[in-house]
């Protein structure tokens, strides 16, 4: 695959009206993107929980990607491996293994950060498909990785230096990628703010201000809005005879 790893590439693998697979990629590829997610244990009205999230890895190779040696006339999908159907499947099996090895590599900083964002591989599903429509043979595989993602940071709450998001921001800052840098700046602006502690707690759980007042989270009228509530004192309950 070389460097032909695509981020959220729409149409890397497409299905025609007659059900045939096709791709416009000019060389073997891997397309990586986040797909469906389901969070069913949200606290109250929280929007920060991510729950089970699917990451998809789609890879494909076609007969159009086969390279012919001008000296020998032999066609190969990879040096020393002929461009046969069996070779297509073998190549995709190797790539699937490489994906797992990369995401498990303790020396890969990006992979290390990715692992910190979730609490384990809940489910790994693999599927394959093929097509020979329009005279172009295509073999493709898909890996669906379902993980339990950590909750999103709450707006207004400073990130701890060892948190996954803080590590992601720090690593991204070392990359000379203007698009990535712009995306990180937008993400940082979204979670930044001068919110006080009580506002942050309301945001975390989706608590209404009235509920916050009843729970003694919201400061009473006349009290500075930026005061930090560190303790709630209440008189002991006195039994009524």
| pLDDT tens sequence across 173-221 | 999 999 999 999 999 998 887 656 778 878 888 889 888 888 888 887 7
- Residue entry with tokens 């020393």: 80
Nearest to 92 by CA among 121, 68, 62, 133: 62
Rounded to the nearest 10 degrees, how much is the dihedral formed by the CA atoms of 15, 138, 30, 125? Answer: 70
* Between 12 and 150, residue with greater pLDDT: 150
pLDDT tens figures, 38-96: 988 777 888 888 999 999 998 888 766 566 666 666 666 666 667 677 888 888 898 89
What does the pLDDT average to over 232-241? 61
* pLDDT confidence of residue 10: 54
**How far, in Å, CA of 88 to CA of 137, rounded?**
10
Spatial neighbors of 108 by CB under 8 A, at least 6 apart, are 102
Residues across the chain: 241
Read off the tokens for 204: 């975390």
**Main-chain phi, psi angles of 65, to 5 degrees:** -90, -5
Q: How many angstroms separate the CA atoms of 62 and 83, rounded?
A: 9
pLDDT digit string, tens, across residues 9-38: 555 555 554 555 555 555 667 889 898 999
pLDDT at 103 over 80: yes
For the ranges 61-75, 95-109, 124-138, which has the lowest average pLDDT? 61-75
């Amino acid at each position: 695959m070389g460097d032909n790893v695509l981020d959220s590439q729409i149409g890397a693998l497409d299905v025609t009206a007659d059900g045939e697979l096709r791709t416009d990629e000019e060389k073997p590829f891997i397309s990586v993107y986040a797909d469906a997610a389901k969070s069913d244990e949200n606290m109250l009205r929280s929007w920060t929980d991510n729950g089970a999230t699917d990451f998809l890895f789609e890879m494909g190779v076609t007969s159009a990607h086969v390279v012919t040696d001008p000296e020998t006339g032999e066609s190969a999908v990879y040096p020393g491996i002929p461009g046969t159907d069996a070779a297509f499947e073998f190549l995709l099996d190797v790539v699937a293994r490489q994906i797992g090895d990369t995401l498990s590599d303790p020396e890969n900083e990006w992979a290390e950060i990715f692992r910190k964002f979730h609490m384990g591989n809940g489910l790994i599903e693999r599927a394959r498909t093929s097509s020979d429509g329009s005279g172009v043979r295509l073999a493709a595989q898909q890996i669906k990785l379902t993980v339990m993602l950590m909750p999103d940071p709450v707006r207004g709450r400073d990130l701890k230096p060892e948190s996954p998001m803080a590590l992601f921001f720090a690593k991204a800052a070392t990359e000379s990628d203007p698009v990535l840098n712009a995306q990180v700046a937008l993400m940082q602006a979204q979670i930044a703010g001068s919110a006080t502690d009580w506002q942050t707690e309301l945001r975390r759980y989706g608590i209404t201000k009235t509920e916050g007042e009843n729970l003694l989270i919201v400061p009473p009228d006349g009290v500075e809005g930026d005061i930090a509530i560190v303790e709630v004192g209440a008189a002991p309950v006195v039994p009524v005879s």
